[in-house]
Structure 1
Amino acid sequence: MGDVRCARATPNVRGGAVSRLSASYDSGGAGAPLLGDTIGAALARVASAQPDAEALVSRHQGIRLTYGELVEAVDGVARGLLSVGIEKGDRVGIWAPTCTEWTLLQFACARTGAILVNVNPAYRPSELAYALGQSGVRMLVTARAFKTSDYLEMLSSVRADLPRLEMAVTIDGEAAGGARDLEWSALVERGAGVDPSEVAKRGEQLDTDDPINIQYTSGTTGNPKGATLTHHNILNNGHSLAQVMRYTAADRVCIPVPLYHCFGMGVGNLGCITAGAAMIYPAASFEPLATLEAIAEERCTSVYGVPTMFIAMLEHPRFGEFDLYSFRTGIMAGAPCPVEVMKRVVDEMHAREICIGYGMTETAPVSFLTRPDDDIERRVSTVGTLLPNAEGKIVDPFTGRTVAVGETGEVCTRGYLVMRGYWDNPEATSEAIDEAGWMHTGDLGVMDGDGYLNIVGRIKDMVIRGGENLYPREIEELLFQHPAVASAQVIGVPDERMGEELMAWVVVREGVEVTEDELREFCRGRVAHFKVPRYFKFTTDFPMTVTGKIQKFKMREMAIEELGLEAAASITTA
Structure 2
Amino acid sequence: MNKSAGTVGRLLAAQAARLGERRALIFAATDTELSFREFDALSREVAKGLLASGVSRGDHVAVWAANIPEWLFILFGCAKIGAVAVPLNANCGVYELEYILRQSDAKALFWAGGRTEECLAALRGICSGDPVAADDARRFPELCRVVAVGEPLCPGMLGWKEFLAGAAVVDDAALAYCEKKVRPDDVFLIQYSSGTTGFPKGAMLTHAAYVAKAAVVADRKGHTANDVICVPVPFFSSFGFLAVLVAIAAGAATLVMERFLAREMIAAVERWRATAIYGTPTMFLAALELADLRSYDLSSLRAGGISGDYCSPELAEAVIMRLGLAEAGIHYGSTETLITIMPRPGDPLGKRTATVGQALPDTMVKIVDLRTGRGARPGEHGELCTKGASSMLGYYKAPELTAEIIGADGWLRSGDLAWIDSEGFCRITGRIKDVIIRGGENIYPAEIEEFLATLPQVLDAKVVGVPSAFYGEEIVAFVRLKPGQKASALELKRFCRRLISINKVPKRVFFIDKYPETASGKVQKSKLRETAAQLLECESRKI
TM-score calculated relative to the size of structure 2: 0.95
Kindly provide the CA deviation profile for residues 361-386 of structure 1, in whole angstroms up to 9, marking residues without a partner as x: 100x1000011011011011101000
Of 135, 138, 141, the match for 1:163: 141
Change in Cα spacing, 1:167 to 1:33, as seen in structure 2 (3 Å) is closer
Shift of the alpha carbon at 1:149? 6.6
Larger CA deviation: 53-62 vs 79-88: 53-62
Distance 2:287 2:68 in 1: 22
What SS does the corresponding residue of 1:486 show, helix, strand or coil? strand
Change in Cα spacing, 1:382 to 1:35, as seen in structure 2 (3 Å) is farther
Q: Which runs of 5+ in 1 are unaligned?
A: 1-31, 568-574
Shift of the alpha carbon at 1:517? 1.2
Q: Which residue of 2 aligns with 1:112?
A: 81
Of 448, 469, 476, the match for 1:496: 469
RMSD between aligned alpha carbons?
Answer: 1.8
What SS does the corresponding residue of 1:383 show, helix, strand or coil? coil
Change in Cα spacing, 1:212 to 1:566, as seen in structure 2 (3 Å) is farther
Distance 1:155 1:550 in 2: 30
Change in Cα spacing, 1:388 to 1:33, as seen in structure 2 (3 Å) is farther
Is residue 329–residue 353 contact of structure 2 (8 Å, CA) maintained in 1? no
1:262 is the counterpart of 2:235:
no
Q: Which residue of 2 aligns with 1:339?
A: 313
Question: What amino acid sits opposite 1:135 in the alignment?
Answer: S
Kindly provide the CA deviation profile for residues 392-443 of structure 1, in whole angstroms up to 9, marking residues without a partner as x: 1001234321111111110000011111110011111111100000110000
Distance 1:439 1:79 in 2: 37
Shift of the alpha carbon at 1:355? 2.1
Q: Which residue of 1 aligns with 2:129?
A: none
What SS does the corresponding residue of 1:391 show, helix, strand or coil? strand
Q: Which residue of 2 aligns with 1:570?
A: none
Shift of the alpha carbon at 1:296? 0.9
1:357 is the counterpart of 2:331:
yes
Q: Which residue of 2 aligns with 1:212?
A: 188
Q: What is the 5 A alignment of 1:67-106?
A: 67-106=36-75
Q: Which residue of 1 aligns with 2:369?
A: 396
Q: Which residue of 2 aligns with 1:286?
A: 260
Change in Cα spacing, 1:131 to 1:145, as seen in structure 2 (3 Å) is closer
Is residue 97–residue 119 contact of structure 2 (8 Å, CA) maintained in 1? no
Question: What amino acid sits opposite 1:153 in the alignment?
Answer: A
Distance 1:150 1:318 in 2: 40
Q: Which residue of 2 aligns with 1:273?
A: 248
Q: What is the 5 A alignment of 1:406-485?
A: 406-485=379-458
Is residue 283–residue 521 contact of structure 2 (8 Å, CA) maintained in 1? yes
Larger CA deviation: 244-253 vs 190-199: 190-199
Larger CA deviation: 557-566 vs 298-307: 557-566
Question: What amino acid sits opposite 2:162 in the alignment?
Answer: A
Change in Cα spacing, 1:59 to 1:126, as seen in structure 2 (3 Å) is same
Distance 1:273 1:112 in 2: 19
What SS does the corresponding residue of 2:499 show, helix, strand or coil? coil
What SS does the corresponding residue of 1:477 show, helix, strand or coil? helix
Q: What is the 5 A alignment of 1:100-249?
A: 100-145=69-114, 151-156=119-124, 160=136, 161-172=139-150, 174-179=151-156, 181-249=157-225
What SS does the corresponding residue of 2:20 show, helix, strand or coil? coil
Shift of the alpha carbon at 1:453? 0.5
Q: Which residue of 1 aligns with 2:494?
A: 521
Shift of the alpha carbon at 1:61? 2.7
Question: What amino acid sits opposite 2:146 in the alignment?
Answer: A
What SS does the corresponding residue of 1:164 show, helix, strand or coil? coil
Distance 1:485 1:156 in 2: 48
Change in Cα spacing, 1:85 to 1:343, as seen in structure 2 (3 Å) is same
Shift of the alpha carbon at 1:343? 1.3
Q: Which residue of 2 aligns with 1:380?
A: 353
Question: What amino acid sits opposite 2:80 in the alignment?
Answer: R
Is residue 175–residue 183 contact of structure 1 (8 Å, CA) maintained in 2? yes
Kindly provide the CA deviation profile for residues 104-123 of structure 1, in whole angstroms up to 9, marking residues without a partner as x: 11100000100000111121
1:367 is the counterpart of 2:340:
yes
Is residue 90–residue 114 contact of structure 2 (8 Å, CA) maintained in 1? no
Of 32, 39, 62, the match for 1:63: 32
Distance 1:444 1:154 in 2: 40
Is residue 91–residue 114 contact of structure 2 (8 Å, CA) maintained in 1? no
Question: What amino acid sits opposite 2:87 in the alignment?
Answer: N
Distance 2:208 2:538 in 1: 48
Question: What amino acid sits opposite 1:122 in the alignment?
Answer: N
Kindly provide the CA deviation profile for residues 491-512 of structure 1, in whole angstroms up to 9, marking residues without a partner as x: 1111111111111111111111
Distance 2:533 2:125 in 1: 33
Highest RCO, 1 vs 2 (Cα 8 Å, sep ≥ 6): 1
What SS does the corresponding residue of 2:175 show, helix, strand or coil? helix
Shift of the alpha carbon at 1:153? 3.0
Question: What amino acid sits opposite 2:491 in the alignment?
Answer: E
Distance 1:255 1:185 in 2: 28
Kindly provide the CA deviation profile for residues 107-151 of structure 1, in whole angstroms up to 9, marking residues without a partner as x: 0000010000011112111111111100100100011345x6774
**Count of matched residue pairs:** 531
Report percent identity of matched pairs. 38
Distance 2:421 2:354 in 1: 11
Question: What amino acid sits opposite 1:535 in the alignment?
Answer: R
Question: What amino acid sits opposite 2:71 in the alignment?
Answer: W
Q: Which residue of 2 aligns with 1:317?
A: 291
Distance 2:142 2:262 in 1: 39
TM-score calculated relative to the size of structure 1: 0.90
Question: What amino acid sits opposite 1:137 in the alignment?
Answer: A
Shift of the alpha carbon at 1:319? 1.4
Question: What amino acid sits opposite 1:265 in the alignment?
Answer: F
Distance 2:121 2:264 in 1: 29
Change in Cα spacing, 1:565 to 1:390, as seen in structure 2 (3 Å) is farther
Shift of the alpha carbon at 1:154? 4.2
Q: What is the 5 A alignment of 1:6-45?
A: 37-45=6-14
Is residue 168–residue 176 contact of structure 1 (8 Å, CA) maintained in 2? no
Is residue 422–residue 428 contact of structure 1 (8 Å, CA) maintained in 2? yes
Is residue 124–residue 154 contact of structure 1 (8 Å, CA) maintained in 2? no
Question: What amino acid sits opposite 1:165 in the alignment?
Answer: L
Distance 1:328 1:149 in 2: 43
Is residue 24–residue 35 contact of structure 2 (8 Å, CA) maintained in 1? yes
What SS does the corresponding residue of 1:52 show, helix, strand or coil? coil
